[in-house]
Amino acid sequence: MRISIPFLLVLACLSAVAAADTLTIQSRPGGSLTVECNSDTQELTFSRNGKPFAEHVKPWDGLGDVPTAKKVQLNDPLGQGDGIDIEGAAGTQHIWVVPGSPFVFTRVDVHPSSNAVIIKDITPFTFSMSAAGDNTRLFSPEGITKPGGGDRSTSYFFLAAVAPASRAGIVTGWITQEIGSGLVDSRGAGTSLSIAPRAEYGKHKVESGTTFRSEIAAVGDFDDARLGLEALADADAKENNIHIRPVMSGYCTWYHAHASNEKDLKALADFAKEQHLKDYGFDFIQIDDGWQKSRRDFSDYNHDATRGGATYPAGMKQTAGNINADGFVAGLWLTPFAWDSKVLSDHLDYFAKTPAGEVYAVKWAGDCFDMTNPAAQQYLSDTISRITHEWGYKYLKVDGLWAGTATTILYPNPQYKPDDYGNAVFHDTERGGATNISAYRTGLRTLRKAAGDDVFICGCNVAQNHRTLAGSIGLLDAMRVGPDIKASWDSISTRAAVFATREYFLNGRVWWNDPDCLMLRDPITLDEARAWGSFIAISGQLNVVSEDLAKLPPEKLDIVKRTMPNVPHAARPLELFSQNQPRTWQAHIGDREAAHDIVGLFNWDEHSPARIDVDTKALSLADGNYVGFDYWENQFVDTFSGTKSFDTKPGACHVLSLVKSADRPQLVSTSRHVLQGGPDIEEVTWDAASSTLRGKSKVVAGDPYELRIVAGPYKLSGATLTTGAKPETSDDNGHVRVKFTPTETGEVDWQVQFAPVR
């Protein structure tokens, strides 16, 4: 028996009953989410706040004859909630809601009774929604598209159907991808849009008398679909029990030196130490492709002086020791699932095979390791253990990940297309235990176990084949979300920034997004360099510089200092559903007296200036007047309400710190970091009785530090530090600056005294 579910589902024949009952479940008493099931037809309706958002929901069409529905209680890592089970001869579909969650969840249990079945794919439900004609947009890892008429369109992992002007829409996606590769199909026809989550399993065999559990799909309706995407990532994190490791910032050799060499890398590490970059949040130094024994042999380093000039003659252990001695974590690049079968010619069983029995090879990466084979697992474990435990590399950049799925490369624009999914033969294939995704996830688990919990693992990259996007969730600390770039503004703006925006909601929830390296050298201008560094900092993604730091001019090295460390926060692009390159990003930083909104305005056009508006209503800021500071312009933002326009040079940005105006002095910015208080302000209080603004800041030795304060109806009367040093002060018509240079790295208490203006 072969189960292959078509896109438009046909309900199984149902027994006639006298009257149809409606089964109803809610996410909480009188709750916002309601699921209704017609017990005659098993057709479902999903509603939020009493308004249907998914109608004519067709359940899985593989349940078999005469399915019946009943109410149940379901318990899952997502929580305990009310559910409906639709049972048939061939399987059971579970539909449930959880208090506090904005999604309706579903999964399918397949239990063949007499003969084994081959599962190609499963579509747990199909539903229709009203599309607002040309105003509806689809948003997915592939970007923004219009519903495609009567033709089916397929997206990986998630799909949002949105009205861009309001951002309201429906988010559909996958919560698990342990065995299957989660997709979302859509089809538009007139004002109707049909959506169907579908998980591909290749040719997965399920024996009779056993039960196969599908992946979990989810759908929800949102006033702001950005919040829906973020909720999807949160649900993935909860289901997969993700506890994100602290983010790291650092350096990669690749874009200016490939694998570099022993002498230059030692010089770079020494320079980073001399510049006290660790105090700014600079954590690791990572060696890229070229250190290894041969192109796809990572069992040892290059000992051959005739190949690459013996890049690291003292060995990789000594090199890691040199990096560690300067106070940094040593990092190393490799392709863990792509090796050279000629090097391992005596162990061809280590590799996945084609149906013809040949080693499964993929373009660029190489020959695909079969991570369902215990012998291959042990070989990889020994290699990773040597690198991390014996040599001492505690940061791994693992590339060519899609080789672990044994599918073809789709790089650099990985829209859904045939990729030979399901045709590779694994060690476990004959026993029915392996799919492309399960083999890949077994490989990631093998990698993590061998490396240990103290190793930070960054994947690279989902653009090679988007099946590794959700297929990696829960097993990596960071992930490159876009293709390689160049040291040019066009490459940064049209590749790195675009891909990093599409998956922004995963960052800080399931892992840290890696948008690719911070590059600053010519021909990148100072404005462009500041814009790229500011984008990385505001979006909160992994900051990895790839430059010869000692050769950077001071103003560009300063960008490294001003954009590290990463500050976890919920930054959002404002025009996510209307522009492939959103120009406005917003992050809320701090709390109580230290609370402020960072607004980044980016002109991605390197040829023409742009006027970009800041609209407080569009940013969901409270009504009232706002004041602030423009970081790179080094000037205060005068009081405004509603909308204020900013003229922005080609390839440049404004990074604004905004606070709602009050009738007292307010800290609006600091000089330490582009987030203007994000990593450095520990606390701020206003003492009305003594007219004193007090605070605590984390500062870096030798780094001039400035507080920027809007005085309101007060004037500056003095400032003091607990260190005993006397700060420099100025008051320019209520724009106050207090500046000092710390002698030590650490915390400094400060207070600024004011007097009311009579």
Closest residue by Cα to residue 364 from 233, 270, 263, 464: 464
Instruction: Please say if the pLDDT value at position 8 is more than 50.
Output: no
Q: 238-272 burial, b for 16+ CB within 10 Å, e for fewer?
A: bbbebeeeebbbbbbbbbbbebbbbeebbebbebb
Confidence of residue 12 (pLDDT cuts 50, 70, 90): very low
Determine what percent of the chain is predicted with pLDDT higher than 70.
95
Query: What is the residue-averaged pLDDT of the chain?
Result: 93
For residue 322, what are the CA distances in angstroms to 157, 262, 396?
Answer: 42, 9, 17
pLDDT digit string, tens, across residues 713-738: 999 999 999 888 889 999 999 999 99
Instruction: Please say if the pLDDT value at position 712 is more than 80.
Output: yes
Closest residue by Cα to residue 706 from 668, 744, 664: 668
Confidence of residue 459 (pLDDT cuts 50, 70, 90): very high
Please list the residues that pair with 628 across neighbouring strands.
Answer: 637, 658
682 in Cβ contact with 709 (< 8 Å): no
Sheet harboring 728-732: ordered strands across?
A: 666-670, 705-710, 735-740, 728-732
Query: How many residues in total does the chain contain?
Result: 758
Torsion angle in degrees (nearest 10) through CA of 750, 744, 658, 224: -120
For residue 647, what are the CA distances in angstroms to 35, 587, 609, 676?
Answer: 49, 21, 7, 21
Mean of pLDDT values over 697-722:
97
Residue 554 to residue 551: CA distance in whole angstroms: 9
**Residue 311's pLDDT is what?**
87
φ, ψ at 161 (rounded to 5°): -105, 115
337 in Cβ contact with 404 (< 8 Å): yes
Q: 384-411 burial, b for 16+ CB within 10 Å, e for fewer?
A: bebbbeebbbbbbbbbbbbbbbbbbbbb
Residue 745 to residue 279: CA distance in whole angstroms: 7
Which of 18-22, 151-155, 225-229 has the highest average model confidence (pLDDT)? Answer: 225-229
Strands (E), 543-634: 544-545, 572-573, 584-589, 596-602, 610-615, 626-630
> How crowded is the C-beta side of 562, counted as CA atoms within 13 Å?
23
Q: H-type helices in 132-193, by residue range?
A: none
523 preceded by a cis bond (ω within 30 of 0) = yes
Confidence of residue 373 (pLDDT cuts 50, 70, 90): very high
Mean of pLDDT values over 94-101:
95
What are the tokens at 268? 């770079």
- Angle (CA) 505-508-509 rounded to 5° is 70
Global pTM reads: 0.95
Residue 158 to residue 172: CA distance in whole angstroms: 6
For the ranges 31-40, 126-135, 193-202, 506-515, which has the lowest average pLDDT?
126-135
Residue 257 to residue 52: CA distance in whole angstroms: 57
pLDDT digit string, tens, across residues 19-34: 458 999 999 766 689 9
Residue 580 to residue 557: CA distance in whole angstroms: 30
Q: What is the bridge-based pairing of β-strands 181-189 and 192-206?
A: antiparallel
Confidence of residue 567 (pLDDT cuts 50, 70, 90): confident
- Which SS3 state, helix, strand or coil, does residue 119 take? strand
Instruction: Calculate Rg over the CA atoms of the chain.
Output: 28
What are the tokens at 195? 């959506």
- Which SS3 state, helix, strand or coil, does residue 416 take? coil
Separation of CA 77 from chain center: 22
List CB contacts of 66: < 8 A, sequence separation 6 or more.
12, 13, 14, 15, 88, 89
Instruction: Please say if the pLDDT value at position 260 is more than 70.
Output: yes
Instruction: Please say if the pLDDT value at position 534 is more than 70.
Output: yes
Number of helices (H) and strands (E) in the chain: give both, helices first.
Answer: 12, 49
**Residue 17's pLDDT is what?**
34
580 in Cβ contact with 602 (< 8 Å): no
Instruction: Please say if the pLDDT value at position 18 is more than 50.
Output: no
What are the tokens at 695? 């605070």
Closest residue by Cα to residue 81 from 102, 109, 57, 51: 102
Instruction: Please say if the pLDDT value at position 250 is more than 50.
Output: yes
Residue 748 to residue 723: CA distance in whole angstroms: 7
